Homo-oligomer: A and B are copies of this chain.
Amino acid sequence: MNLAGVFAPVPTPFDDQDRVDTRRLAAALRKWAARPISGFVVLGSNGEAVLMDDDESERAIAAAREAVPRDRLFIVGTGRESTQAAIRASRRAAEHGADAVLVRTPGFFKNQMTTDAFVRHYTAVADESIVPVLLYNFTALTGVNLLPAAVSRLGEHPNIIGMKESGGDVAQIAELVNGTPAGFGVLAGTTATFYAALCVGAVGGILALACAVPEACVRLFTATREGRHDEARAIQRQLAPLAKLLGPTFGVPGLKAALNVLGYDVGLPRPPLAPLPETAVKTLRDALAQFEEIPA
């Protein structure tokens, strides 16, 4: 399984009654399928997975599977606080056609989430999962850090093929790359440090911005890979303001608003998330304007 490239972590549309809208999810994925994206992640953090129950999740997976072409990777987020729940979600995702599962660290019982606990958790999931497992560390949201020492041990597992590291600590990304086997792919989760992450050995990225401005993300990836560093640095610089807005500042409401501006029709976030205020949408629209991706 080739993890090199740019992956889009897609949001989940909800309808007017706050139900998962599988039709709009599929329609949006078909639009994205026309772009040079290497694969898709559904039910990640950006997919509001933590706001959905298991039935909703399965319907979203099934609908997405239909829409994602077979030549792209189809990755499903299946992180749960309980090890058994993560195993069950991973198996169900595979049954619905996932190519791989992306398993966010449990993080509720912070003091207990030691390296040993992470190794036990992921080993159990990888042992039971039908499809390959990607680790997923997102310290800013979970409050726990899946350290290189744990990843190094987990990278030996035959069913763990890589990870998404959403933090911007490039030294940690370098350490993850250096501490794992050649076939283990480290994917960046932060656009603000995407170019630097590629420099130190990340094989690609799962980036909210890949939903909004996929061409720019892919050009950055390709330029770096082909040694055109000045070009890569220039694209990174162009992406920086948008990365800030779609990352910590506006979050999922911002991503959905940006995608609606771009014609993807992904609707509003689910409460307690609130729609992005109009002034913020205006800011986003201005930041997007320079990318010439806004439909006429």
Q: Would B168 and A272 count as touching, CB distance under 8 A? A: no
CB of B85 within 8 A of CB of A121, answer no
Residue in A54, A111, A178 whose Cβ sees the most chain B Cβ within 10 Å: A111
Interface of A, helix, strand, loop or mixed by DSSP: helix
Contact of A178 (CB < 8 Å), options: B53, B120, B240, B253: B240
Residues of B within 8 A of A201 (CB): 233
A29 at the interface (CB under 8 A from B): no
For A117, give its contact among B117, B120, B270, B274 (CB under 8 Å): B274
B240 touches A141 (CB 8 A): no
CB–CB B110/A272 < 8 A: no
Contacting residue for A171 out of B109, B192, B249, B271, CB 8 A: B192
Q: With an 8 A cutoff between CB atoms, is A143 at the interface?
A: yes
Number of identical monomers bound together in the oligomeric complex: 4
Contacting pair B271 A124 (CB below 8 A): yes
Name A199's contact: one of B195, B237, B251 (CB within 8 Å): B195
Complex contact A251–B168 (CB within 8 A) = no
Enumerate chain B residues within 8 angstroms of A190, measured Cβ to Cβ.
171
Residues of A15-40 contacting chain B, CB below 8 A? 18
In the complex the two chains form, what is the Cα distance from A81 to B18 in whole Å? 15
| A286 is an interface residue with CB less than 8 A from chain B | no
Residue A170 at the chain B interface, CB threshold 8 Å: yes
Q: How far is the CA of A117 from the CA of B274 in the complex (A)?
A: 7
CB distance from A136 to the nearest CB of B (A): 13
Tell me the complex Cα distance, A110–B112, Å: 21
Interface residues of A in 98-122 (CB under 8 A from B): 106, 108-113, 116-118, 120-121
Would B53 and A85 count as touching, CB distance under 8 A? Answer: yes
With contacts A51-B82, A84-B18, A236-B200 known, is A251 near B112, CB below 8 A?
yes
Shortest beta-carbon distance, A154 to chain B, in Å?
13
A:67-94 near B, CB below 8 Å: 81-85
